[in-house]
């Protein structure tokens, strides 16, 4: 089988987004200096996978991703007993090494691939592939394709379905792998092995107890499940899963999460309503970007009473433009760090022909050194998407 035929078989089923076909804004030219500055720094950094650290609290092995629930703390009344919840307050003593390694992958690989896409300099692609080999192919360093032990709670759970949200950081990595198909740095055999890893992971996400629990979540977790499965199915060419995600967005996500005014009630009730609203919007916008086709444009989909992404954008954009008008209390943590250069503004601006959204996107900060922002801001290289 030739390389081109293999790629066709793996990728042709992934639909091109409407915005990718219609974009007139030159994202590569706008973002060139930023992308190359970051990529040039990352050329000097070797891959780090989850096998470089391990927590004694993990019930899994060295190749199993492990994280702990953010808002769970030792009980002052029973310090050695099960943890207790403090919603919105992250426990700094939790084990976060695997999350940090995954975030590092999601920062560096897309930046390197974006630099390759802009310059066609193979050194960027080759270095990105070093990371991909370490994470998905090398048996001594690769991660097992499941999140069975994610967001554990000391004394309560060895892992939870809610932990699947930790791999939102593989969404842009999957997109970068699609872009790399045209580079000689990634062999046909390696592309097949990496694609198989994502196929195994999406199978676990769609069939395991934890995966099904996360699919049924009523808030941003349910949105992120759809976003991840859609992104991975686009890479693996699983048309039935793409169709399933497209239908679920229209029949479950939008009807159950978007209010008539365009707000997200499940996010507004949290102790960080502004940050959570932006986060959920980013995930929904990514779903639209991945799954929209000329025949089925999720950007313009709406329920009979007008609820959809257009309404959600109209609700939140004034509060991005002028955060002082936000009607609720400030987020309990990291309130001053938001908004960022939200990809929803760029994607929706192009898809819905709203240049005001694109202009607002241009004015916002593109990068942050704050770990909480990096963790909740998962699409950072729009040159890979439009």
Quick one: fold of 43-215?
Answer: Glycosyltransferase (1.50.10)
- Integer-rounded Cα radius of gyration of the chain: 20
Residues ≥6 apart with Cβ < 8 Å to 182: none
pLDDT at residue 19, rounded to an integer: 39
Tens-place pLDDT, residues 300-331: 999 999 999 999 999 999 999 999 999 999 99
- pLDDT value at position 13? 41
Beta bridge partners of 66: 149
Q: Which residue has the tokens 């090398």?
A: 138
The Cα 195–Cα 131 span in angstroms is 15
Residue pLDDT, tens place only, 14-57: 444 443 434 478 999 999 999 999 999 999 999 999 999 999 98
d(C-alpha 227, C-alpha 298), whole Å: 13
Hey, how many other C-beta atoms are within 10 angstroms of the C-beta on 305? 10
pLDDT of residue 8: 42
Domains 9-22+218-379 and 43-215 agree in fold: yes
For 168, 328, 348, 363, the CA distances from 284, given in Å and listed in that order, are 12, 22, 11, 22
**Longest Cα–Cα distance in the chain:** 65
3-state secondary structure 186-219: CCHHHHHHHHHHHHHHHHHHHHCHHHHHHHCCCC
Cα separation, 225 vs 228, in Å, equals: 5
pLDDT tens per residue across span 213-229? 999 999 999 999 999 99
C-alpha to C-alpha distance for 109 and 193, rounded to whole angstroms = 17
pLDDT at residue 89, rounded to an integer: 87
Rounded alpha-carbon distances, angstroms, from residue 266 to 248, 277, 300, 359: 18, 9, 23, 29
- The CATH architecture of the domain made up of 9-22+218-379 is Alpha/alpha barrel (1.50)
Q: Output the pLDDT for position 17.
A: 41
Q: How many contiguous H segments (helices) and E segments (strands) does the chain have?
A: 17, 4
**What's the half-sphere exposure (Cβ side, CA atoms, 13 Å) at 56?**
0
CB atoms within 10 A of CB 230: 28
* pLDDT, block means (10 residues), the chain with 386 residues: 44 41 78 98 98 95 95 91 89 93 98 98 98 98 98 94 96 98 95 98 98 98 98 98 98 98 97 97 98 97 98 98 97 96 98 98 97 95 97
Measure the CA–CA gap between 173 and 196, rounded to whole angstroms.
15
Comparing CA positions, the residue from 289, 287, 265, 285 lying closest to residue 277 is: 265
| Angle ∠(115,287,69) on CA atoms, nearest 5 | 90
Residue 227 CA to residue 145 CA, distance in Å, equals: 17
- Axis-axis angle for helices 220-236, 171-179 (nearest 10): 20
Determine contact, residues 349/357, Cβ cutoff 8 Å. yes
d(CA 355, CA 190): 40
User: What is the predicted pLDDT for the residue at 80?
Assistant: 86
Q: Tell me the C-alpha distance between 346 and 71, whole Å.
A: 32
Bond prior to 339 in cis (omega within 30° of 0): yes
pLDDT of amino acid 70: 84
Task: For residue 72, give the nearest of 195, 189, 163, 154 by alpha carbon.
Answer: 154
Residue extents of the structural domains in the chain: 9-22+218-379, 43-215
CA distance 223 to 269: 17
């Amino acid at each position: 089988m030739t390389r081109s035929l293999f790629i066709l078989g793996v990728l042709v089923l992934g639909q091109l987004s409407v915005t990718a076909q219609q974009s007139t804004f030159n994202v590569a030219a706008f973002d060139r200096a930023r992308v190359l500055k970051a990529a040039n720094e990352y050329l000097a950094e070797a891959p780090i996978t989850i096998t470089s650290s391990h927590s004694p609290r993990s019930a899994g092995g060295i190749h199993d991703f492990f994280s702990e629930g953010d808002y769970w703390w030792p009980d002052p009344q029973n310090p050695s007993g099960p943890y207790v919840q403090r919603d919105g307050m992250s426990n700094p003593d939790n084990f976060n090494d695997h999350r940090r390694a995954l975030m590092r992958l999601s920062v560096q690989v897309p930046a390197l691939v974006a630099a390759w896409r802009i310059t066609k300099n193979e050194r960027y692609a080759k270095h990105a592939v070093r990371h991909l080999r370490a994470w998905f192919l090398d048996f001594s360093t690769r991660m097992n394709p499941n999140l069975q032990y994610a967001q554990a709670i000391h004394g309560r759970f060895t892992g939870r379905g809610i932990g699947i949200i930790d791999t939102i950081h593989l969404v842009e990595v999957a997109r970068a792998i699609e872009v790399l198909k045209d580079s000689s740095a990634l062999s046909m055999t390696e592309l097949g092995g990496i694609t198989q890893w994502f196929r195994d992971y999406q199978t676990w996400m769609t069939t395991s107890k934890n995966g099904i629990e996360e699919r049924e979540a009523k808030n941003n977790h349910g949105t992120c499940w759809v976003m991840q499965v859609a992104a991975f199915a686009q890479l693996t060419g699983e048309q039935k899963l793409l169709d399933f995600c497209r239908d679920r967005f229209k029949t479950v996500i939008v009807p159950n999460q978007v209010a008539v005014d365009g707000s997200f009630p499940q996010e507004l009730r949290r102790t960080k309503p502004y940050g959570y609203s932006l986060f959920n919007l980013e995930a929904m916008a990514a779903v639209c970007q991945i799954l929209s086709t000329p025949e089925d444009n999720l950007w313009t989909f709406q329920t009979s009473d007008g609820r959809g992404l257009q309404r959600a954008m109209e609700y939140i954009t004034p509060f991005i433009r002028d955060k002082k008008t936000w009607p609720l209390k400030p987020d309990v943590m990291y309130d001053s760090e938001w908004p960022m250069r939200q990809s929803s503004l760029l994607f929706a601006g192009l898809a819905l022909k709203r240049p005001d959204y694109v202009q607002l996107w241009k004015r916002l900060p593109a990068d942050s050194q704050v770990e909480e922002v990096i963790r909740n801001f998962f699409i950072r290289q729009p040159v890979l998407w439009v």
